[in-house]
Amino acid sequence: MRTTYIHKPESVRIFNKQLLNWSLKYDDVVWLDSNKYNQQYSSYDAILAIDAFTGIKTDYIDAFNKLKEYQSVTKDWLFGYLTYDVKNAVEDLKSNNFDRLQFPDVYFFQPKKLFLIKGNSVEIKYLKFVDDEIQNDIKAIEKTLDNCHLERDTQSKSKCSREDIKIKLRIHKDDYFKKLDSMLTHIHRGDIYEANFCQEFYAENTVINPLETYQKLNTISKPPFATFLKINDKYLMSASPERYLKKEGNTIISQPIKGTAKRSNNKVEDDELKYNLSQDEKERSENIMIVDLVRNDLSQTATKGSVTVKELCKVYSFPQVHQMISTVTSNVIENTHPIDVLRTTFPMGSMTGAPKISAMKIIEELEETKRGLYSGTVGYFTPDNDFDFNVVIRSILYNQTNQYVSYSVGGAITAKSVPLKEYEECLVKAKAMREVLEN
């Protein structure tokens, strides 16, 4: 049981910054921020979950059944993630590529302390045995100050000390073209129609300030599914624009992204870039292929005839890029367990390809790095069996103990792909992460 308290700070914006800074004293932190973007399907503006009371940490083996048991027994708010490699629990697949980040495959926890931000109010939900800490915590939060994080001009030079970061490519340009040629060979002979091919950028022997890095990334990108995650010495700083899956009552919502164009400071040119993306046959075909895959996945738990495409190939604008997004909904069969909705759709089609299993096998052969949390998902379950999960893209991952920083980017490869254009699209997607890390 939880005690609920409504707090109305003088400034929610400042309170949120103080709240996130205050949370760093805990080992388990999940911060989700919508940046008030496209509120049609948002339940909250932002959420903070901290301080694990119970939790589950496991590898991919039988992962969904273990998570189902934990979620069913706990019947409370749960926050955490599934890495991309949980695919190995769904199909006869493997992930043996290089991994220096070493995130557990699955991690969820039941927070002692929960903050739900909507409008000008903060709904605070503490487990009963810590609810006597609410007032003292509010006072501590509102006294939290850190000149490296609060009210700083993000364009000015950071006052925090930092090292120069040397970013390396796991796959160099010539090798990227060779790998894309192999991918296109698979496509032309009919093994697959589309595959999402990813490459890693990384820095070794590197120390960063995770919260400052996240705040800079979020300021640049302002995405609807921003995430700051801390699990002991491992961090995720995500500026994701993509929702994987949301359950609200009996309604399931999926919003796959396929199709990217850069932005321009010149409005006329920017409008032209947006229009060209909306009309681009290759980008539309990428998106439609994944929409078909999502429709098929959702149909496994949907009532007959309820899978609906609400938006097809609609272009949305973000500070760094224009994105082509589709929205697919379904009504779930009554008494379907929420974990089964995830199991039958994971991993998300936008990060795999079609047909999904063949694409995942080819991806594994050609990529050099184990994806781990990248192209996995972070989100939460409610006590009412609802959930909301993002797609982990446009993200920086950090293993503090190994002093290893990583970000990956990818693109959908189809028969119409031009390797040079695909490579350039990867650089556009990587721009915000590189800017943040290289200051």
Active site residues: 242, 258
- Using omega within 30 degrees of 0 as the cis cutoff, is the peptide bond preceding 347 cis? yes
Q: How many CA atoms lie within 13 A of 180 on its CB side?
A: 25
Q: Name the β-bridge partners of 314.
A: 325
Q: Mapping DSSP to helix (H, G, I), strand (E, B) and coil, where does residue 282 land?
A: helix
Other C-beta atoms closer than 10 Å to the C-beta of 62 total 12
Judge contact between 379 and 388, C-beta under 8 A: yes
Instruction: Give the phi and the psi of residue 75 in degrees, each rounded to 5.
Output: 50, 50
Q: What is the C-alpha separation between 414 and 245, in angstroms, rounded?
A: 24
Residue listed under structure tokens 């098929």: 296
Residue 330: in which H helix or E strand, if any?
strand 321-331
Give me the amino acid identity at 371: R
Judge contact between 365 and 346, C-beta under 8 A: no
Please tell me the chain's helix, strand, coil percentages from 3-state DSSP, rounded to the nearest 5: 35, 35, 35
Q: How many CA atoms lie within 13 A of 185 on its CB side?
A: 8
Q: Which of 16, 38, 6 is nearest to 222 (CA)?
A: 38
- Using omega within 30 degrees of 0 as the cis cutoff, is the peptide bond preceding 223 cis? no
Judge contact between 222 and 386, C-beta under 8 A: no
Write the DSSP symbol of residue 157.
P
Judge contact between 321 and 262, C-beta under 8 A: yes
Give the long-range contacts of residues 293-299, CB within 8 A, separation 24 or more. 293/349, 293/354, 293/356, 294/254, 294/256, 294/326, 294/328, 294/345, 294/348, 294/349, 295/328, 297/344, 297/345, 297/349, 298/252, 298/254, 298/328, 298/330, 298/345, 299/330
| Axis-axis angle for helices 356-366, 173-188 (nearest 10) | 150
